[in-house]
Structure 1
Amino acid sequence: MTHKHQNSTAAPHISDLGLLSNRRSAALVTSLGEVVWYCPGRFDAPSLLARLVDAERGGSWAVKLPGAVPGGRQYLGDGGHLKSVLRVGEGGETLTITDFMPFGDDLPCGICRVFSRSPQPYQLVLNAAPDYARRAVTLQEDGEAVKIDGQHWLYASHPSEIAGESVVIDVPAGEAAWAFLSNGRLERPDWETVTRWREESLLNWQELTTHATYHGPYEDAVRASLRALRLLTDHAESATVAAPTTSLPEIIGGQKNWDYRYVWLRDAGMVVSALTRAGGDGKEGRAFLEFICAQAKPQNGLPAPPFMTVDGGEPPEEEQLDLAGYQDSWPVQIGNGARGQLQLDAYGNVLLAAKLIYGRFDVRDGDGKREHWDVVERLAEFLCDHWQDDDYGIWEERSKRPYVAGKVLAAVALEYIAECSEDAAQATRWKAAAADARVWVAANALNAEGAYAYAAGEEGVDVTAALYPVWGFCAPDSPEMLATLTVLERESCQNNLYWRHLADDDASEEGAFLAGTLWVAQYWVMRDPARARTILDAVLAYANDLGLLPEMADPHTRQPLGNVPQTFVHAALIGLVVDLAEAEKKAAE
């Protein structure tokens, strides 16, 4: 499949997207109230609405209110209910939309939309495109609902009319309205039902958001980031997906368009740290580590897969879809081809997460072992025996190399987790392996300028190296780190944003990498907090009005890029701000 469809309808801007979630699945909605992405049932399910990646054929649920312009929007509290205002007419009249996905074990799955009294008549138009638009939609009347694709039902306060391949709801001026796109057949809901769903869901969000709180610098950004992490965490499994989307491009018109609706072990260190260090009781961070350790089964000679589906399964192989792509950035694909790779840093990150949890919660099982110790031990033993192996690296390259970050992370992770071992011989063995890894790094990992190379024997430097002092591998002002920052500033920085370095591709052909930029800021917390703030502010310039951050950004066009929102970025932001707050507080004492 090599062709594209040319779009005549403009794609929604990435910065215009708001996220809805019931912590099982997700939808994205624009500031004009159009739902442009929805995967019913679970985060990685086939889409029902996908205009985000095919502006003509992907399907959406739009509010057709002539002359409407965005009038502002906000989440209600720290949960997932989104209130959007549309302004119409010269008198400043408004229509308010409250969008939410009922959140709670006893609530139905779907998208609920509640509308205030409108000054003008409008239409709700649903154009469903099942299975990534691979199937023609079937519509049929089913009592007072419309049955869609044989497995979804549209209920509403006003009559729904089938018009060709669309479902249209006409709402007269002056009348409030609601509509619910359900994953199952229901006894006909009414206003009382919808109000109850809304109130119960709000209470459930309120209860959840008490588990981690933060007060200090950049409080709004941290709250928005915690919300993003929670919205993208599966309620049943406590598994956090990397993003709710697939195939949003790393550069407009480019071909690096990946499916991020899975759970990466690599993210565990930062996500667990963010959820644990942002105040509160640590319950959420422990729950994510619980998922990782429960599902990280050995496979294909590895102690655990590098990433999983939200129920611990193996992600599908990559498959290209016959969709045009975001702004004609093709291919659009599902699945992820990196699923069988050896990624040493993934295991190191799980050990860092375990070390953090062990330092805060001394929880033991019936045999007196620390929680998850069997899995932690298995990963540590693997790193002990295999740290010297070539792997595919943190950026999931196409060829194996001696990527330095994996060796560094293996060293610090083994050192940290050895302190938690109650087997003296085991701890000694792990520390010895860590020492060997340090010797290897000193002998092989520096380039001609004395900076930490991305891969041994090569000259390129990657932003991951900014984390080496954060991990505790070296001092922030060591000669090697000073040289590393010199190269990063010269080769990978523009307008306080940083690019990653790739071995198999030209990283200049993608946007600046926001998580990596935040890592550099986290490094500067140790030396110059004011510099850290400058870099953080540059990243926050790409947060939208709801505080949601994308994977990448283009400083030339000021356009956000990549899958959005990305939990890796939000977790990195929380870690940075917590460190910054601690450093500034210490400096003020």
Structure 2
Amino acid sequence: MIRSRRQSSPEIVASNTVPIRNLGVIGDRRTAAVLDRMGRILWYCPCRFDGPSLFAGLLDPEGGEWRIDMEGAAPGPRRYLDGSGMLETHLTGPEGNLVVLDWMTSGPQAPIGVLVREFGTAPAPVRVTLDPRPDYARRTATLSVEGDCAIIEGMRLYGSHPLRISDGTVVMDLPKGEAGWMILSDAPISRPNRATLDNWRGHTLGHWEGLDEAVNYEGVFADDLQRSLRAIRLCTHEESGATTAAVTTSLPEIAGGGRNWDYRYVWLRDAGMIVSALLRLCRKDSEGEQYLKFICRCSGTSENYPMAVFTDLDCETAPPETELPFEGWRGSRPVRIGNGAADQLQLDAYANVVLAAKLLYREGSSQGRAHWDVVADICDFLSRNWHEPDHGIWEETPPKPYVSGKVVAACALESAADYGSEAEAARWRKAAGEIRDWVARNGLTSVGAYAVYPGSDEVDVTAALFPVWDYCAADTPEMLATIEALERDWSPDGLLYHRRLECADGTEEGVFVAAGFWVAQYWVMRGDLDRAHAIIEAGIAQGNDLGLLSEEADPRSGEMLGNIPQSFAHAGMIGAVIDLNRALKARTRETQEKSNS
């Protein structure tokens, strides 16, 4: 790794110890940058989410960053601008506040691949330093200055004030009383000026506003729901329609531990929940349909199964895991890029693609049975292979006959049978019936709850989704016993939930944020809307001031854990809120009808 020659300031928190709660994200729906509350860009992969980083200070103090130095500065308030992905950060100082607006150009009338940093009038001298460490800090950056432009690894950096190269960094000084800007472009562009930036900003805001025009929601948690939709969009690759699990890698499930994974890829199992959120929330189904279209394009990416359970943004198999010699976030090692679980058998992942297709057929405006050949192939695969042990939703080894995978496979087969030919429907319903018989014989604990796998007396929070998937009613004896066990063994407070792991103690890591929203959906189906509301509220509280949710949270300290923003958690939140809102409206109508009768 390339080591820095600059002297660290004792007042500045080491970049790889910044609380995850302090992170914000900007993006152009192609890639994203991660900032802390001091306006430091600590993670940025130019061109695409899963590309090599230019800044990786989030994972190592020598990983590179783009920082703002103003004497006596402290973090102030911050917000996203007008519902967009443009982040405004206030730095407070003895002589006044510095306002920083960070954003990436978006929309057809703005250039592609431009990261913009705008600085309001400086209350004191400000120094902005870009410290590039390309390819995950495995190379020394090539820097040069050509006229008024700095060249960084072929990228163009312009500034409102003169740029200079100093000790492997690019520096711009902003005098007191003056405003300024810096832009970093993937490709050659003409030197911009203030009018150019104003034009780009307007088009970018317009692009985000255009996305919001499709939103159709009025009800509880409206602001929080909007924030979650923005988070999903910040994880979405607009050109392909794919949504990554998160924009970061190796932020840990346990601080200082080794469960640190690269989430910058596209998981099949996320498809059902994310497509459901987009279809039910938006008047237009194009975003959800584009995501499903991407998933179905990935057919053939596995030699053994219908497709790899996750892929990169090109529908190619994700690269194998590689460990980087980084310190890790708060010493959490190893730091990984790539992901080695792509060719696991995960029944729930394939089943969720089918459930996503069902939602498109039922709630979308798409004509006919889009991607039916892929959906039918998956169903045939599930009907032949449902009995095989798999790695489950938590991608554990060795494989086991996880009950949740069998259950969601049955639900997928039954839902697809409604759209298949007579022969297909008969074949898939027969397999689904066999699964139901197997679960009834083998899938229950000694007290009649849904077991993690045959022979286990433990339950997992995924079982809360069984009624949501339409496998059973919410008040069956099996579900009542399952929820009782979940509340007793896996919920520290009855509002947040740990997952049950085979290869580790799930209670040692944080609560799994998405899980609470699944349980909230269960309570909506049980009719206890107050309880569902409280669980949703507790889940939202695990996010930060920008409404971003990470994968997990420490229920004792409130610290956020895992990669950010976790699109799975945000989609779960949207699904739970929509279910609750529909139930509340239905209850209001019933009350009004009774009062009028």
Q: Report the TM-score range of the alignment, normalised by the length of the smaller protein.
A: over 0.9
Matches within 5 A, 1:165-180: 165-180=168-183
Matches within 5 A, 1:10-21: 11-21=17-27
* In 2: Cα distance, 1:57 partner to 1:391 partner: 40
Deviations 1:196-216 (A, max 9, x none): 211111111111222233221
Match in the other structure for 1:551: 551
Pair 1:272-2:275 in alignment: yes
Pair 1:204-2:207 in alignment: yes
Q: Contact 2:443/2:450 (CA < 8 Å) preserved in 1?
A: yes
Amino acid at match of 1:69: A
SS at match of 2:195: helix
Match in the other structure for 2:70: 65
Q: Contact 2:246/2:567 (CA < 8 Å) preserved in 1?
A: yes
Deviation for aligned residue 1:163 = 1.0
Amino acid at match of 1:405: S
Deviations 1:238-269 (A, max 9, x none): 10000000000001110000000000000000
Pair 1:138-2:136 in alignment: no
Match in the other structure for 1:4: none
SS at match of 1:77: helix
Matches within 5 A, 1:59-98: 59-89=64-94, 93-98=96-101
Amino acid at match of 1:140: S
Amino acid at match of 1:396: E
Pair 1:191-2:189 in alignment: no
Deviation for aligned residue 1:298 = 5.2
Distance of aligned partners of 1:85 and 1:213 in 2 relative to their CA distance in 1, 3 Å threshold: farther
Amino acid at match of 1:114: E
Deviations 1:168-227 (A, max 9, x none): 110011111010011122222211222221111111111122223322100111000000
Deviation for aligned residue 1:533 = 1.5
Q: Contact 1:76/1:83 (CA < 8 Å) preserved in 2?
A: yes
Match in the other structure for 2:235: 232
Deviation for aligned residue 1:554 = 0.5
Deviation for aligned residue 1:362 = 6.0
Give the unaligned 5+ runs of structure 1: 2-6
Matches within 5 A, 1:213-228: 213-228=216-231
Q: Contact 2:306/2:377 (CA < 8 Å) preserved in 1?
A: yes
Deviation for aligned residue 1:524 = 1.1
Deviation for aligned residue 1:110 = 2.9
| Counterpart selection for 1:159 from 156, 159, 162 | 162
Matches within 5 A, 1:373-388: 373-388=372-387
Amino acid at match of 1:141: V
Deviations 1:448-491 (A, max 9, x none): 12110111221221100000011111111111011101111111
Q: Contact 2:301/2:316 (CA < 8 Å) preserved in 1?
A: no
* In 2: Cα distance, 1:167 partner to 1:213 partner: 45
* In 1: Cα distance, 2:488 partner to 2:131 partner: 49
* In 1: Cα distance, 2:365 partner to 2:25 partner: 36
Identity %: 47
* In 1: Cα distance, 2:113 partner to 2:543 partner: 29
Pair 1:313-2:316 in alignment: yes
Q: Contact 1:86/1:96 (CA < 8 Å) preserved in 2?
A: yes
| Counterpart selection for 1:42 from 44, 48, 60 | 48
Root-mean-square deviation (CA), in Å?
Answer: 1.5
Q: Contact 1:391/1:401 (CA < 8 Å) preserved in 2?
A: yes
Deviations 1:511-552 (A, max 9, x none): 110111211111111221111122112212221111000100
Give the unaligned 5+ runs of structure 2: 2-7, 590-597
| Counterpart selection for 2:286 from 274, 283, 287 | 283
Match in the other structure for 2:465: 467
Amino acid at match of 2:559: Q
Match in the other structure for 1:583: 583
Deviation for aligned residue 1:74 = 1.2
Deviations 1:479-514 (A, max 9, x none): 101110111111101132111011122212311101
Pair 1:250-2:253 in alignment: yes
SS at match of 2:237: coil
Distance of aligned partners of 1:158 and 1:78 in 2 relative to their CA distance in 1, 3 Å threshold: same
Range 152-161 or range 7-16, more displaced: 7-16
Q: Contact 1:211/1:283 (CA < 8 Å) preserved in 2?
A: no
Matches within 5 A, 1:410-421: 410-421=409-420
Match in the other structure for 1:409: 408
Matches within 5 A, 1:320-339: 320-339=323-342
SS at match of 2:586: helix
* In 1: Cα distance, 2:161 partner to 2:343 partner: 50
Q: Contact 1:211/1:284 (CA < 8 Å) preserved in 2?
A: no
Aligned length: 575
Match in the other structure for 2:436: 438
* In 2: Cα distance, 1:570 partner to 1:383 partner: 28
* In 2: Cα distance, 1:362 partner to 1:80 partner: 28
* In 2: Cα distance, 1:157 partner to 1:276 partner: 43
* In 2: Cα distance, 1:14 partner to 1:587 partner: 39
Deviations 1:136-172 (A, max 9, x none): 2222112211111x32221100011111022111001
SS at match of 2:331: coil
Pair 1:23-2:29 in alignment: yes
Deviation for aligned residue 1:32 = 1.6
Distance of aligned partners of 1:540 and 1:363 in 2 relative to their CA distance in 1, 3 Å threshold: closer
Pair 1:103-2:101 in alignment: no
Deviations 1:7-43 (A, max 9, x none): 9825211011111111111101112211111010000
Match in the other structure for 2:4: none
With the length of structure 2 as denominator, give the TM-score of the two structures.
Answer: 0.94
With the length of structure 1 as denominator, give the TM-score of the two structures.
Answer: 0.95
Range 336-345 or range 290-299, more displaced: 290-299
Range 450-459 or range 544-553, more displaced: 450-459
Amino acid at match of 2:518: W
* In 1: Cα distance, 2:303 partner to 2:457 partner: 32
Amino acid at match of 1:170: D
Amino acid at match of 1:338: A
Deviation for aligned residue 1:380 = 0.9
Amino acid at match of 2:408: L
